[in-house]
Amino acid sequence: MKKAMRGVAALCLAAVCAAVVPVTSFAQAPALQGERAQVSYMVGMDVGQSIAPVGPDIDYAALERGIRNAFEGGEPLLSEQDVAQTAQALMQRIAVRNGQTPPGMPPGAPPPEVDRQKVGLMVGSDIGRSLQPIQGELDLAVLVQGLRARVEGGPVLMDEAQADAVRQSFSERVQKDMEAQQAQAGEKNRAEGEAFLAGNRTETGVQVTPSGLQYRVVRQGSGRRPVASDRVRVHYHGTLLDGTVFDSSYERGRPADFGLGQVIPGWTEGVALMPIGSKYRFWIPARLGYGAKGTQGIPPEATLVFDVELLDIL
């Protein structure tokens, strides 16, 4: 069930929402006043569709409480054991409602009972976490109103054409906002990285290549050096300038193997400088790393710091 909940925000942000259930009743009044209310109701309708199979088992006051708690970053409202038991019971109830016999249950057996408040808290927490990126755009009460209308099949305040128009307009605006924020963050990271590298290049032992890659030899090995077409085995630890760890083979407890020509330019160039058995520290400018787009865990225009140990050439 959690997989059904995850991605609700992503669907809205990307304007790629699943096909919706036909609406048979459209309430003309009261009208939804303003973009915030319209967006909240539309998102509620979309979320309501995704959780419709568990609708009969939900306490809506608890659902709203679960969403709000997730928005506020509160502590979990249910224990892991409660979540596991509730989720299992829900899956069995859904299967029975669909005319199926759940694994481990005899044919014709009634589904287990569930605590509707626990269901509401669990589902609400999932919804809240999914929608955290856009929570500032949402009126929670209106969202729940749209959600309930969709789940319960009652009159809705927005027909499908209106919902599609609101979804598209909202998604385009959010996308533009995200791009603007990314550009602003990238410019800040670029300036900080350039300032750091300008000072770091004067530090004792730091060497600079023509591309701008900076490195320091921590331990010099005596084996042969790899070329871009080689496959290498390394241990490494990668951080941002503020020390945030984004990747580390040391923390995973096992080295990594990869083609030296299949990684970021700073790695391809830097590791090729290392004889087997060496350990170097690299400072990689953004243009030799992940650039303006960044990647998971790495912001746009981020300067990267890597400690790399070349174990072998495969």
Map tokens 């759940």 to a residue.
102
**Catalytic residue numbers?**
236, 246-247, 264, 290, 306
Strands 245-248 and 279-284: unpaired
DSSP SS3 for 277: coil
DSSP SS3 for 184: helix
Of the candidates 192, 157, 222, the residue with the CA atom closest to the CA atom of residue 25: 157
- Distance in angstroms (rounded) separating the CA atoms of residues 241 and 283: 9
- Distance in angstroms (rounded) separating the CA atoms of residues 48 and 130: 13
The token pair at 13 is 């942000």
The token pair at 101 is 């016999």
85 and 29 Cβ atoms separated by less than 8 Å: no
Of the candidates 314, 310, 306, 304, the residue with the CA atom closest to the CA atom of residue 219: 310
- Distance in angstroms (rounded) separating the CA atoms of residues 234 and 32: 58
Name, in order, each residue with C-beta under 8 angstroms of 281's C-beta and a sequence gap of 6 or more.
215, 216, 218, 305, 306, 307, 308
Map tokens 């009208």 to a residue.
31
Map tokens 């596991």 to a residue.
84
